[in-house]
A and B are shown apart, each in its own frame.
Chain A
Amino acid sequence: MPHNRDAPLVARRHLDGAYFLLSFRHPEVARQAQPGQFVMIKAGTAAELPLRRPFSVMSVDPPQETFTLFVKAVGAGSRALTLLEPGETAQCLGPLGRPFDPPAAGVEALMVAGGYGVSPFRMFAVVLQRDSRPGRLFYGGRTALDLQEREPFAGLGVPVHPATEDGSVGRRGRVTEALEEYLDGQARAVALYASGPDAMLHAVARIAERRALVAQLSLDPWMGCGIGTCLGCVVSIQEADRPQPKLRCACTEGPVFDAHTVVWPGESSSAARRRKLQEVSA
């Protein structure tokens, strides 16, 4: 059950560029958050705009009752958070949303992250290590600056495959190209997990469709409330056995969705539905 409370900032670390690690005290989020869940959080006076912003929880520390967010200061909401001083409070509601489903036994979790989309995968890597499940991170961005916080993954037994568009670190090109290269070279059972910009999520969904792989996407539409009342964050989702897509709130029914059920802009049905119709006609 999500809990709304003032959450004092307990630590702030400025990484390179506009990237920050911000830790807040919030016992319920610290104890209950699962990988892929998020908080709605804002700095400043409670009921004044801007709206709270959704951020995936990067890590939790239950004994300290704290959680950490990986924040890129890009707009009014995120920038205000990064300007908080330790001791000052943010208003925070969480944990919210549907988490990632863990991979089945013997299945390698292939995590695909774009920029600060890496956030939920830190928690996910901790859980994978705890459950002795293999994992691997494909981490992409425009430049080396966008690939912050890679080191902790190695310590969690998760190899990192970096990719940058300018080639400043790792493979030059898109992160999905690095993923496809890996998929081409091995035959073990894998499940894809993706978090990042829409174009990257869509590319991962196409790979999953083409190769018939299990895949989950953490979608990141604009959210107003986080609890399903504003209906601002709806996405078109179509399960295989439904004739029509249905609008689902990314905040309460996501943000994690089966990649095969997502109906992308310009498409009329989901991959799951298309496959089902193919099977029926075959």
Chain B
Amino acid sequence: VNLAVELAGLRLKNPLLAASGTFGYGVEYEGILDLSLLGGLVSKGLYLEPREGCATPRIAETPSGLLNAIGLQGIGVRGFVRDVLPRLSRYDTAVLVNVCGDTVQEYAEVSRIVDGAPGVAGIEVNISCPNVERGGIVFGGDPRLTFEVVAAVRNATRLPVIPKLSPNVADITVFARACEDAGADALSCVNTLLGLAVDVESRKPRLAFGTGGLSGPAIRPVAVRMTWQAARAVRLPVIGIGGIGSAEDALEFLIAGARAVQVGTANFVDPGVYERILAGLAAYLERHGIDDINELVGTLEFPRPLAPRHA
């Protein structure tokens, strides 16, 4: 069976990517899993300069979910290009860089540096991190700013540009269209849901930052719904993200319209997750007599009439 997918000019040997912020820079997993198993990986978000991130505690477990406020701690884009990219070139997997900025100019500058680096397959634009004071969700929560950032990145690179959308909006299709209009090549759907967990003994938030981003199986139905909406609203290919830990979870997104998926929180729980999902996808296709995983994309049979696609 064929598991390879093509989207936005990316050729992936299978539809599984490691999600930004849940896989470090990839090299942390050397020796624990074979990175060449992955269709691709998306780096931790990178600014121009290194960042310290939020105070601790930074993570809290909630029912079927993980609430985090790491705050984009990172080594900076130059450190990544210098120290990490050469190590990743040993693996047969697509490397995407998640680009951050406090300002539109910084997004563009980071993108230019990434564009000039060897071994990068694409840029994911982080307009949806809920755990920073500036940038992130500030851009992803306003369609005009979304357009502005994506257009600036578009002008800074010839690499595929893939904005990562926030689920913390009333209508994700507005943002999907803004990205399409700004020249994006694909969409990542979705980042974490803004949450708040309270320690009732101290009457303080369980995270030092206060609020955090919720991920894991708890958000999967929300993410599948938003992926489905976005895929119907634009012609761009959509990469589904949200609580994927099994082949069945990945299939939900593909059937709802995603052309590929990212595995996030499950990386923390089980480094063997890619091997299991790939085996499960192949078994599913064989059981259903399907030769090519691309045939599944967007085959959801919805029980009630809908407005036409790409309206």
A residues engaging B (CB < 8 A)? 1-4, 42, 46-52, 76, 91, 93, 221-222, 224-225, 227-235, 247, 252
Contact = CB atoms under 8 A, between A and B. Distances in A.
Interface in B25-66: 28-29, 31-33, 44, 52-53, 56-61, 64-66
Given A231-B53, A234-B73, A93 B28 contact: no
B293 interface: no
A47 B61 contact: no
Given A49-B217, A231-B73, A232-B58, A4 B269 contact: no
Interface range on chain B (Cβ under 8 Å from partner):
35 or more
B52 A228 contact: no
A235 B94 CA distance: 32
Residue in A1, A51, A225, A231 with the greatest tally of chain B CB atoms within 10 Å: A231
Contacts of B73: 231, 234, 247
A50 B58 CA distance: 16
Contacts of A42: 269
19 contacts: A42-B269, A46-B269, A46-B276, A47-B246, A49-B61, A49-B64, A50-B61, A51-B268, A76-B61, A91-B272, A93-B271, A222-B57, A222-B58, A224-B59, A227-B29, A227-B271, A232-B57, A234-B53, A247-B53
B270 A91 contact: yes
Contacts of A46: 245, 269-270, 272-273, 276
B37 to A, nearest CB: 13
A227 B32 contact: yes
Given A49-B61, A230-B22, A4 B266 contact: no
A232 B67 CA distance: 10
A131 to B, nearest CB: 29
B161 to A, nearest CB: 25
Contacts of A232: 56-59, 68, 70
B187 to A, nearest CB: 24
A215 to B, nearest CB: 22
Contacts of A47: 245-246, 266, 269-270, 273, 276
Contacts of B23: 229
Interface of B: 22-24, 28-29, 31-33, 44, 52-53, 56-61, 64-66, 68, 70, 73, 216-217, 245-246, 265-273, 276
Residue in A1, A48, A49 with the greatest tally of chain B CB atoms within 10 Å: A49
Contacts of A93: 32, 271
A48 B217 contact: yes
A224 B22 CA distance: 10
Shortest beta-carbon contacts, A-B, top 4: A47-B245, A229-B24, A232-B59, A47-B266
Contacts of B61: 49-51, 76
B269 A221 contact: no
A282 to B, nearest CB: 32
Given A224-B268, A229-B28, A234-B58, A49 B53 contact: no
B267 A225 contact: yes
A49 B32 contact: no
A230 B268 contact: yes
Nearest to B249: A47
B245 A48 contact: yes
Residue in B56, B64, B70 with the greatest tally of chain A CB atoms within 10 Å: B56
